[in-house]
A and B are shown apart, each in its own frame.
Chain A
Amino acid sequence: QVQLVQSGVEVKKPGASVKVSCKASGYTFTSYYIHWVRQAPGQGLEWMGVINPSGAGTTYAQKFQGRVTMTRDTSTSTVYMELFSLRSEDTAVYYCARVASSTCFDYWGQGTLVTVSS
C-alpha cells in the first residue's frame, strides 16, 4: 500500500535550518510529484512547493523562495524539504503529499512538527 513516512519531531533555534524527510513506498517513486504543505498551530493549510522525483525539478511558493530547498534521493525513494533561517513563525506541522493525475493530494505523510524557539 502507498505510504509516506516522515521524520520525527524537530526543535530548532531561530536562525537555524531544518531538514525533514519523507520516505515513499508502495508505488513507483519517480511517477508522482511530491508537494510540501505546512500548518501552523490552529491555522489552515499552506502550500510550500513541489518536487518532481524523476527529474528533480522544483517549484516553490514565492513566500519561501530563497529559504527552502526540496531534493530527492531515488535510491531510497525519499524526498527532503530543508528550510533555512528559521523564525518563530515557522513553527508548524510540515506534511509531504503525493499528487495524483487529477491534481489532488491523494496520500499524505503523517506530519512532522517543527518548533522554533529560543
Chain B
Amino acid sequence: DIQMTQSPSSLSASVGDRVTVTCRASHSISSSLHWYQQKPGKAPRLLIYGASSLQSGVPSRFSGSGSGTDFTLTISSLQPEDFATYYCQQGYGTPRTFGQGTKVEIK
C-alpha cells in the first residue's frame, strides 16, 4: 500500500497568513495527488486534483504543487472560511489512501 504522510497534523494561523501543508507518498505517484477540505459534520470537498489543478469553483488562493513523492497545498491568504481539516489522497494505486489530515485552526 502507498502510505501518505501529511505535516503538520495541526497548525494555528491568522486571517491573511500564508499557509502551507505538505504531503509525502511512500512511493512515487506521479501527479496523482488530490487535496480535500473538510468542515465539521460535512463531506470532504475537492480543492485540487492532479497535484496542481484547481477544481471548478474553488478560490484561486488555493494552489497545489509537486510530483513524484512530495506535494504541497498552499493557501496564499487565509480566510475565515478556510479554517477546516485538509486531506491529501493518492489516486495512483489501490487501495486508495489518504493522509491523516491537517487541522487549520484560528490563532
Given contacts A44-B87, A61-B95, A62-B95, contact A106 B46 (CB under 8 A): yes
Inter-subunit contact A45/B89 (CB<8 Å): yes
A29 within 8 A of B: no
Across the two chains, which residue of chain B brings its CB closest to A64? B95
Q: Is the CB of B43 within 8 A of A45?
A: no
Give the residues from 11 to 68 in chain B that come closer than 8 angstroms, CB to CB, to chain A: 32, 34, 36, 43-46, 49-50, 53, 55
Out of A61, A102, A109, which one reaches B53, CB within 8 Å? A102
**A16 CB to nearest chain B CB (Å):** 25
Among candidates B92, B98, B100, residue contacting A103 with C-beta atoms closer than 8 Å: B92
Q: How far is the CB of B86 from chain A (nearest CB, A)?
A: 11
Interface pair A106/B89, CB less than 8 Å apart: no
Contacts of A106 in B (CB 8 A): 46, 49, 55
Which of B43, B44, B89, B97 has the largest number of chain A CB atoms within 10 A?
B43
Interface residues on B, range: 20 to 34
Residue among B55, B89, B96, B98 with most chain A CB within 10 A: B96
A98 to chain B, nearest CB (A): 10
| Partner among B34, B43, B101 whose Cβ is within 8 Å of the Cβ of A104 | B34
Q: Mark A33-53, 1 if CB is under 8 A from B, else 0.
A: 001000000001111001000
8 further A-B pairs in the complex, CB-CB below 8 A; given A59-B94, A99-B91: A47-B97, A95-B43, A102-B49, A103-B91, A105-B34, A105-B89, A106-B55, A108-B45
Q: Which 8 A-B pairs have the closest CB atoms?
A: A103-B91, A104-B34, A108-B43, A104-B49, A47-B96, A45-B98, A61-B95, A102-B49
27 CB contacts below 8 A, A to B, read A35-B96, A44-B87, A44-B98, A44-B99, A44-B100, A44-B101, A45-B44, A45-B87, A45-B98, A46-B98, A47-B95, A47-B96, A61-B95, A99-B91, A100-B49, A102-B32, A102-B34, A102-B49, A102-B91, A103-B32, A104-B50, A105-B36, A105-B46, A106-B55, A108-B43, A108-B44, A108-B45
